[in-house]
Amino acid sequence: MKTIKRLLVVAIMLTMVTGYANENANDVSAKVITVLKFSDVKKGHQYTIIDNEGVVLFKETIERNGSFSKKFDFTALNEGSYTVELEKDFEIIVTPFIIQSKNVVFLDSKVTTVFKPVVRSRDNQLLVSQMSLNEQPLKIELYYNDELILKDELKGKSVLSQVYRLSANEKGDYYVRLESGKRVYKKSFEIK
């Protein structure tokens, strides 16, 4: 009787172990590894993976100059549209991709470049410029000591630029908020 009980326990244990082994083997084979590669990047550039609703799923800052690659398993994501954005010094390269039936397809023909606004302060001047190939307006808000002191909108050209003269007597911390399309850019600066 004891022998039969031991055999039953061993049989149940073997069945459970075999079941777990098959389950793990299936999980490994179902994974599809995708390698993101970027060339000509610099330390401080960032890349972001965003879903079709604008939710940031992953964001990382690149730690060294040159080429960069990272492996991802996108099989856990739902089917649908996503983008990878590589944010460089003056531009953002947007690469859309879709996930269908556990396959990842990058839409290289739909890669776009968004040019970031450039803000420079020199003496008591603020210089704002942006290349806007689709001629989207650039909304500008300038704050001094957390108080809005200027609101402007540049539009109608593929290259937007404006110089603002600030009071030489109003020294201190400034903050500029720029909005182009659905993107917001912020920069702080100081006039001494």
pLDDT in tens, 95-150: 999 998 888 999 999 999 999 999 998 888 899 999 988 788 999 999 998 899 99
- The number of distinct structural domains making up the chain is 3
Single residue among 57, 91, 114 that ends a domain in this structure: 114
Residue 103 DSSP SS3: strand
Q: Are residues 60 and 90 in the same domain?
A: yes
Helices (H), the chain: 2-30
Q: Are residues 105 and 37 in the same domain?
A: yes
Let me know: does 6 contact 24? Beta carbons within 8 Å. Answer: no
Closest alpha carbon to 115 in 134, 96, 139: 134
Single residue among 63, 98, 114 that ends a domain in this structure: 114
**Owning domain of residue 63:** 33-114
pLDDT of the residue at 30: 59
Q: Are residues 186 and 124 in the same domain?
A: yes
CB within 8 Å of 154: residues ≥ 6 apart: 128, 130, 137, 138, 140, 160, 161, 162
Residue 6 DSSP SS3: helix
Whether the pLDDT of residue 162 is over 50: the answer is yes
pLDDT of the residue at 9: 38
Cα distance between residue 188 and residue 50, in whole Å: 26
pLDDT of the residue at 179: 95
pLDDT of the residue at 25: 44
Q: Are residues 42 and 89 in the same domain?
A: yes
Record the pTM: 0.73
pLDDT, tens only, 15-71: 444 444 444 444 444 577 889 899 889 999 999 999 999 999 999 999 999 999 999
CB atoms within 10 A of CB 171: 13
